[in-house]
Amino acid sequence: MSQLLHDEQQQGNTQQTSCSAPSSISLKELSLELSGTKILKNVSFDLSSAGINCLVGPSGAGKSSLLRCLTLLYDNWQGKITMDGIAIQSWPKGADALRRHIGLIAQKPSIFPTSIYQNVIFGLSRQERKQDQQKWVEACLRKAALWDEVCNRLFDPASTLSIGQQQRLCIARVIALNPNVLLLDEPTSSLDPRSKQLIEASLYDLAKNIPVLCVTHDLEQAQRLQGQMIFMCDGKLIETAPTNDFFQSPKRLETREFLRWSVCNCDE
Amino acid sequence: MKAVLILLALPAILLPLACFVYIIIQALPALNWELLMGSNTTSGSLFAGTAGTGHGLWGQISGSLLMMLLACFLAAPLALSIALFHALWASPYQQRMMVILLQVLQGIPPIVYGLCGLIVLVHLLHWGISLAAGGVILALVILPLLSSNAIHALERIPIAQTESAKALGLSVGAVIVRVWLPSAWSSMLTGLLLAMARALSETAPILFTATVFSGITWPDSIFSPVTSLQTHIFYLAQEGSNAHAVDMAWASAAVLLGLVLCFSLMARLLRRYEGAL
């Protein structure tokens, strides 16, 4: 599937190919305050090269807010976020251009009231809609593990899909932009096991080429994805470690507590 | 308990129905094709048109529709802009203030708008009694209704959908054109149809600013006066001793009611379609 996607990129879709290389994102001393409440407190970490990174932590740890900062949906944060060495606040051509490089998939699927096909190409500009667009749509839907289920009804309303299919459609829609980094906010939290499995397979495949940061509450899922673990609690970054180390020999007390009870107890 | 509530609720259904039936019964003797499509071109006496030289309502119908269309043409873009500003750039405080001001504007008696139109547009700006003055004043009357409706239509769009569009790198303009308007157009059109019905039923704002009793079938320009169904009923009703004038008033009322009902029913049908989406 990955090969197919990259074959498509090489078929003259130069604009998309130009942003297909994996990027590195670096967060330094990221802090965020909303309505007088500190949501993020000096969070620093790097996402470099391809691979899966699982961001875990209790509710209210600031995980989703961090994703919103990374995509400039929140822009009132302090600190520094750079992508490939460029500060994202001063990204050439602004926040809209940046968001085309950083794909964000929300917890609940949000489809547009149009066809499945149109949803996939929704983010593409007129210039990006090429002659071989149909092949590109197919490649994206295959990559999101949805093609087999919708190939005969591409022009049906997207609202006719199940929730799990809609979430995979959202992934295909983001893949169509060929992002350099993929951020997911609990993408499988309300899905059935089969949809969950298909999305995980899709993420695993995508992570071969680009960094993927997946917020999840599902520790079993984090173990299955076998990536770098990032643990946050109360707006602070507590620990980062490879999956096996994180689960077998956590270094910090807060992590041990979280793993033991899945409840944060890190008030200082 | 149920019986009491039914008794209390009955007037809400029966009174409008009774009014409607009564108007139709009163209007039936005068209602005919010639009345609808014929024109009353004779000027001068208040009842020149009723003396037999042509007693159609076409001039009044076209005048009312022209003013309604002009008012909607002026108010709709403004209402959309107000709603977009409210959704995109207004702070929570500004949003609250805008909603309060729109409610205040909706509460102003239409005759006050008419008076302002008379002083500012007719006299100060020397527009005279004209279609333009009437259209502008009617636009001001329906603007709060249209704006509130557009604001609510945009508020009903799920935030997640807007954020998904933004996360795909769509600019603000693209979000408006490709996400908001396709999602909200049916609600906005419903509001527009209701505003059209409201514009058709307003009399006071155009009484001083736009209309004359007779003598005009189609205005020469936007700065010419027009005749309208609403004010026609007003003038005719003042002549209660003239049986023909009263018949004409009932017929005019029935035609006006028909037009208002038409727009209201279209709005209702559209709302049903909207619910089915």
DSSP B197: H
Band (A267; pLDDT cuts 50, 70, 90): very low
pLDDT at A7 over 70: no
Q: Shortest CA distance to A53 belongs to which of A211, A219, A224, A260?
A: A211
What's the whole-number mean pLDDT along residues A196-219? Answer: 89
Q: Strand pairing partners for A184?
A: A105, A214
Q: Compare CB distances from B169 to A96, A108, A112 and report the shortest one's residue.
A: A96
pLDDT value at position B275? 58
- For chain B, the average pLDDT equals 87
Which member of A108, A114, A173 has the closest CB to residue B168? A173
Q: Give the Å distances, CA to CA, from B19 to A18, B14, B45.
A: 71, 8, 31
Rounded CA gap, A129 and A117, in Å?
A: 12
- When pLDDT is averaged across residues A53-64 and rounded to a whole number, the result is 91
Residue A215's CATH number: 3.40.50.300
ipTM: 0.81
Average pLDDT value for chain A: 85
Provide the residue type at A25 as one letter: I
Please list the ranges in chain B whose pLDDT falls under 50: 41-54
Q: What is the pLDDT, as a whole number, of residue A27?
A: 92
Which pLDDT belongs to residue B237?
A: 86
Under the banding of pLDDT at 50, 70 and 90, the label for residue A227 is: confident
Distance from the B94 Cα atom to the nearest Cα atom in chain A, whole angstroms = 17
Of residues B164, B168, B183, nearest to A113 (C-beta): B183
Confirm whether A181 is domain-assigned: yes
Q: What is the DSSP string of A191-260?
A: --HHHHHHHHHHHHHHTTTSEEEEE-S-HHHHHHHT-EEEEEETTEEEEEEEHHHHHHS--SHHHHHHHH
Question: How far is the CA of B194 from the CAs of A28, B82, B198, B236, in angstroms?
Answer: 55, 18, 6, 27
pLDDT of amino acid A266: 42
B261 Cβ under 8 Å from any chain A Cβ: no
Question: Which range (A11-15, A18-22, B132-136, B237-241) has the least confidence?
Answer: A11-15
Indicate whether A268 belongs to any domain.
Answer: no
For A169, the 3-state DSSP assignment is helix
Question: Residue A158 falls within a domain, yes or no?
Answer: yes
Contact (CB<8Å) A112/B277: no
Residues A100, B169: C-beta atoms closer than 8 Å: yes
**CB pair distance less than 8 Å for B167 and A103:** yes
* Beta sheet of A25-34, edge-to-edge order: A37-47, A25-34, A78-83, A86-87
Cβ-based contacts of A173 with chain B (< 8 Å): 168
Is residue A75 in some structural domain? yes
Residue A13 has pLDDT above 80, yes or no: no
Least CA distance to B178: which residue of chain A?
A: A122
Distance (Å, rounded) from C-alpha A268 to C-alpha B195? Answer: 59
Across the interface, whether the CB atoms of B168 and A110 are under 8 A apart is answered no
The answer to whether B169 contacts A104, with C-beta atoms less than 8 Å apart, is no
What's the confidence (pLDDT) of residue B48? 42
DSSP output for A68-125: HHHTTSS---EEEEEETTEEGGG-TTHHHHHHHHEEEE-SS----SSBHHHHHTTT--
* Section A138-154 average pLDDT: 92
Summarize pLDDT for B62-87 with one digit per residue, the tens: 999 999 999 999 999 999 999 999 99
Helix B243-276, helix B58-88: angle, nearest 10: 30
A87 min Cα distance to partner chain B (Å): 17
The answer as to CATH 1.10.3720.10 being correct for domain B59-276 is yes
Question: In terms of CA atoms, which chain A residue is nearest residue B180?
Answer: A112
B229: which residues sit within 8 A by CB, 6+ positions away?
B57, B60, B61, B63, B64, B200, B252, B255, B256, B259
pLDDT at residue B95 in the model? 95
Query: With an 8 Å Cβ cutoff, are A73 and B169 in contact?
Result: no
Sign of CA dihedral B116, B118, B124, B126: positive
pTM over 0.90? The answer is no
pLDDT in tens, A89-98: 889 888 999 9
Does B160 contact chain A (CB < 8 Å)? Answer: yes
Q: Is A184 on the interface with B (CB under 8 A)?
A: no
- Mark which residues 174-203 of B lie under 8 Å from A by CB: 178-179, 182-183
Residue A267 inside a domain? The answer is: no
Question: Does residue A119 belong to the interface with chain B, where contact is any CB pair within 8 Å?
Answer: no
- DSSP-derived letter for residue B225 is -
Does the pLDDT of residue A62 top 50, yes or no? yes
Q: Which range marks the domain in which residue A144 is found?
A: 2-261
Task: Give the pLDDT mean for A59-80.
Answer: 92
In chain A, the residue whose alpha carbon lies closest to the alpha carbon of B170 is A96
- Asked if A92 reaches chain B (Cβ–Cβ under 8 Å), the answer is no
Task: Report yes or no on A266 lying in a domain.
Answer: no
Single-letter amino acid code for the residue at A41: K
Residues 6+ apart with CB under 8 A from B268: none
Domain boundaries, chain B: 59-276
Provide the number of structural domains found in chain A. Answer: 1
Q: Bigger pLDDT: B137 or A202? A: B137
Q: Is A254 within a domain?
A: yes
